[in-house]
């Protein structure tokens, strides 16, 4: 100890201790005592955020943990990647994005991928974070998110998969289109719903035609003998119910397409209204691949062979 009058004292001492494990590249605020990041190495993470700066920040953070990050600016880019066959181990979606927000995109991804949907994490504002996850997202984190919280959340989502083999996503049975070929028209005005419906049909082996309103649907059926029309109810120019009535009135029984309603109204009165207009079936939104497959199976029994 050194002491100087009027200046104070200086005390120094030494202790002997073992070295703690280094933090490595986990980022600031991630404690060494937390779970190892070894099981994150090589895992594919999807980042969806419309803000370029946030995308870069999250991408760098995930890459620092050894993960392979792919960053999309919105729903259109994300859905295109899924259609191309890209798959991810975990997805991180921003809640507030223009056009299609994170909740809607997460719902669409789950409907399209089914059991192959990766665990999803939603980034939201503090005021909304506790109310947004629902049953679509495994975790919701408030923004701005600390690296330690993000690391722990992603680790928790991926840790159970590190020790167990992931279920096989391939389908060995013939696709539905091979067993039941159908000419399908999709009448839907919402761009995201268009993409999701067409992607689901592609997974079942179908190449469908697309129109954006009821008037175009009526015209299309006049030109092509479609077996099935997937008809949204709320469309501009001519809604789905009126388009259905007109199509059925213009075609003789036995040459009418099987028209399946696509609607957000899941109540019984909505279903009865569709059946009263002449629709053969009714599917609620968000569309689910298994239910779409069931509707097409039923349609294949109704539709007479060529």
Domains of the chain: 38-162 (3.40.50.2300), 176-302 (3.40.50.2300)
Tokens of 39: 């099981």
Please report how many Cα atoms fall inside a 13 Å half-sphere around the Cα of residue 176, on the Cβ side. Answer: 21
Which secondary-structure segment (H or E) carries 84? none
Q: Model pTM?
A: 0.58
Q: Would you state the pLDDT for residue 159?
A: 73
Residue 115 DSSP label: G
State the pLDDT at residue 304: 54
**CA pair distance 243, 213, nearest whole angstrom:** 9
Q: Identify the DSSP state of 194.
A: H
| The predicted structure's pLDDT at residue 30 | 45
Residue 224, burial from CB neighbour count under 10 angstroms (0-12, 13-18, 19+): exposed
Looking at residue 213, its pLDDT comes to 95
C-alpha 264/C-alpha 236 separation (Å) is 16
pLDDT of residue 272: 84
Q: For residue 166, what pLDDT is reported?
A: 43
**pLDDT single digits (tens) 103-139:** 889 988 888 888 889 999 999 875 454 445 557 888 8
Residue numbers in the chain where pLDDT is lower than 70: 1-37, 126-134, 160-174, 265-269, 303-306
Q: For residues 250 and 256, what is the distance between their CA atoms, to the nearest angstrom?
A: 9
Q: What is the pLDDT of residue 33?
A: 33
Distance in angstroms between the alpha carbons of the first and the last residue of the chain: 101
Output the pLDDT for position 212. Answer: 94
Q: What are the beta bridge partners of residue 83? A: none
Question: Which residues contact residue 107 at a Cβ distance below 8 angstroms, ignoring those fewer than 6 apart?
Answer: 136, 286
Q: Are 286 and 111 in contact (CB under 8 A)?
A: yes
């Amino acid at each position: 100890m050194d002491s100087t009058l009027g200046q104070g004292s200086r005390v120094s001492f030494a202790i002997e201790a073992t070295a703690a494990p280094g933090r490595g590249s986990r980022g600031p605020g991630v404690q060494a005592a937390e779970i190892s990041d070894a099981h994150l190495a090589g895992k594919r993470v999807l980042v969806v955020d419309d803000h370029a700066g946030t995308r870069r920040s999250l991408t760098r953070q995930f890459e620092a943990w050894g993960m392979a990050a792919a960053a999309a600016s919105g729903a259109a880019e994300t859905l295109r990647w899924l259609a191309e066959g890209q798959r991810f181990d975990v997805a991180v979606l921003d809640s507030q994005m223009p056009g299609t927000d994170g909740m809607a995109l997460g719902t669409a991804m789950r409907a399209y991928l089914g059991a192959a949907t990766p665990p999803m994490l939603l980034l939201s504002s503090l005021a909304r974070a506790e109310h947004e996850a629902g049953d679509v997202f495994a975790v919701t984190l408030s923004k701005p998110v600390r690296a330690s919280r993000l690391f722990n959340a992603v680790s928790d989502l991926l840790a159970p998969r590190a020790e167990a083999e992931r279920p096989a996503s391939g389908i060995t049975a013939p696709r539905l289109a091979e067993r039941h070929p159908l000419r399908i028209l999709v009448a839907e005005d919402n761009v995201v719903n268009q993409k999701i419906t067409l992607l689901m049909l592609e997974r079942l082996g179908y190449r469908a035609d697309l129109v954006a309103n009821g008037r175009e649907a009526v015209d299309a059926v006049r030109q092509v003998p479609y077996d099935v029309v997937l008809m949204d109810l709320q469309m501009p120019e001519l809604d789905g119910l009126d388009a259905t009535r007109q199509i059925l009135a213009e075609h003789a029984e036995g040459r009418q397409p099987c028209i399946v309603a696509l609607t957000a109204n899941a109540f019984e009165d909505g279903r009865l209204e569709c059946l009263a207009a002449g629709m053969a079936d009714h599917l609620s939104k968000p569309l689910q691949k298994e239910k779409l497959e069931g509707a097409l199976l039923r349609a294949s029994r109704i539709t007479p062979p060529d």
